[in-house]
Amino acid sequence: MSVQTPPSHAAVTESVRPPEFSRGERARVLAMTAAGSVVVSYAAVAALLALVSSTAAHAKFSTTGVLAASAPGWLVAHHVPLRFDGGQLGVLPLLPTVLLMLLASRAAAGAADRLGLFEPLQARGVVISIASAHAVTGGMIAFLMGDDGVVRATPAVAFFGCAAVSGVAAVAGVAQRCGLVEVVFERIDPVARHGLRAGAMALFALTACGALLLAFGLAVSWPVTSSLFDQAGGTLGTGLGIWLMCLGYLPNAVVGALSYVTGAGFSIGSATVGPIEFTGGPVPAVPLLAAMPEQQSPLLPLVLVLPGATGVLVGYALRAAAGTPRARVRAVLVAAVTAGVGTLVLAAVSGGSLGGGAFNPVTIPAGLLAVLTIGWIAVPGAVVAWFAGPRPPRVVEEEAPEEPEEFEEEDFEDEEDDLEYEDDLEELEYEAEEEEDDEEVEEEAEPVAEEEDLEDDDPDDPDDPEDLPDKRD
């Protein structure tokens, strides 16, 4: 009876064999996927810009103008900095980048399904095609914008920036279908695997704390927020533009609130905001920034309870990750480093230069944020995981009753050798005694024989044959 093994990412049975494509068909599918991801993302930016232009009070709407103006917006969606006469715009909204990555990820997943990809090495064609298409398009846009335009971009930065963003999105799209996740987790021991999951959970928890703090600040300062909307002009187009701008920078504000929760804080120009350190200064008249505290308060350091509670939750979640306390502490350290790296990346892409005015730069200290995140998770998490998890039973040495000694084969062999030696010794002693007895018997027998000889020499003995006369005579 034959048994068939279930299919995996490295082996597929004949019943689920993917369709076979020729090189031309495969190249055509990849080219259509790459071009489609570029066109769809560019069309989304153009549609958003057309909506804002059509609702603006004094804006002139034209299809050609919208398509031309969408090129810098498409670069901004790829997180490519733009330059203008007043300085550089490096604080780019994260929401368009997230949406563009979702579109590229979906395109890569669709290509993998259409081609029936199931192995990790097969994913490289999809990733390379999408990343190359976005890189070439971004480099051409930056080159055509030139050095004399109102808005400019560096072609090399645009090329590699678009390739990086779209490539990461494509990898995320094909990771599950082509078994990339399984390949990575197969090479990691179970303790580190639990730590990675707990680190992702900690990063999500800290981000949620920042979002809740931002929502609380906006709710408390709602009068200021509404007044900033009114100062913008009050028209539909202006209000929609400000609302879209706040929506695009909402992830940046959440990252800033996350940095505030951990104690690292952030700064806008000369203004520094943190739970422990506070320095006033001018800030842009953006409704989203109304959540910032206006002055230092003794209650602000209480937000530091949130990252500490997150570390406690991580330790409690890893209390059963391993059977020994040291292994659980190692899992907590993996979780802390994972969350720290995540916050480092988020802070690095959330800040940057903001022109050359009083609000430049917008800084979220990425290094300090990562170090504080690791500390907030590692210290309380390690303590909780050490004491809350199972501990190996202690071996109590009890006085056991005396048992007869167990002899090994070597001991028996030694005893046998001793016995043989004793037997040989006894035999030698016995032989020596016999020899002594024989010598004594011989010594006793010698005088008797001499006496018998003397008795035989008696001439008067008639029984002596020598004394008988010779009858032959």
Residue 86 contacts by C-beta under 8 Å, 6 or more apart in sequence? Answer: 355, 356, 357
Using one digit for the tens of pLDDT, what is the confidence trace for 232-255? 666 666 778 888 888 999 999 999
Q: What mean pLDDT do residues 157-182 have? A: 91
Q: Kindly report the number of other CB atoms within 10 A of residue 239's CB atom.
A: 15
All residues at 6 or more sequence positions from 218 whose CB lies less than 8 Å from its CB, including other chains = 225, 288, 290, 291
Beta strand 87-89 pairing with 82-84:
antiparallel
What are residue 363's DSSP bridge partners?
Answer: 267
Q: Give the phi and the psi of residue 418 in degrees, each rounded to 5.
A: -65, -40
Question: Confidence class of residue 132 from pLDDT cuts 50, 70 and 90?
Answer: very high
Q: What is the average per-residue pLDDT within 83-89?
A: 82
**Residue 65 to residue 54: CA distance in whole angstroms:** 12
What pTM did the predictor assign? 0.76
DSSP state of 319: T
pLDDT interval class at 11 (50, 70, 90)? very low
Q: What is the DSSP letter of 269?
A: T
Angle at 229 between CA 227 and CA 232, to 5 degrees: 110
- What are the CA-CA distances from residue 115 to residues 129, 162, 316 (Å)? 14, 25, 44
In whole angstroms, what is the distance from residue 224 CA to residue 287 CA?
8
Percentage of the chain lying above the pLDDT 70 cut: 75
Q: How confident is the model at residue 471 (pLDDT cuts 50, 70, 90)?
A: very low
* Backbone φ and ψ of 87, nearest 5°: 145, -145
CB 85 within 8 A of CB 144: no
**Residue 269: Cβ-neighbour burial (10 angstroms; 0-12, 13-18, 19+):** middle
Q: Which run of H or of E encompasses 8?
A: none
Lowest mean pLDDT among 66-75, 358-367, 439-448: 439-448
Task: Give the list of residues 6+ apart from residue 311 with CB closer than 8 angstroms, or none.
Answer: 202, 336, 376, 377, 378, 379, 380, 381, 384
pLDDT digits 0-9 by tens, 321-375: 888 889 999 999 999 999 999 999 999 999 888 877 778 888 999 999 999 999 9
Cβ count near 17 (within 10 Å): 11
Question: pLDDT at position 407, please?
Answer: 42
CA angle 118, 105, 199 (to 5 degrees): 90
CA dist 39 and 71 (Å) reads 12
Mean pLDDT of 248-268: 93
pLDDT value of position 470? 47
- Spatial distance between the Cα atoms of 43 and 410, rounded to a whole number of angstroms: 88
- Averaged pLDDT for residues 103-125: 89
Greatest extent of the chain over all pairs of C-alpha atoms, in Å? 190
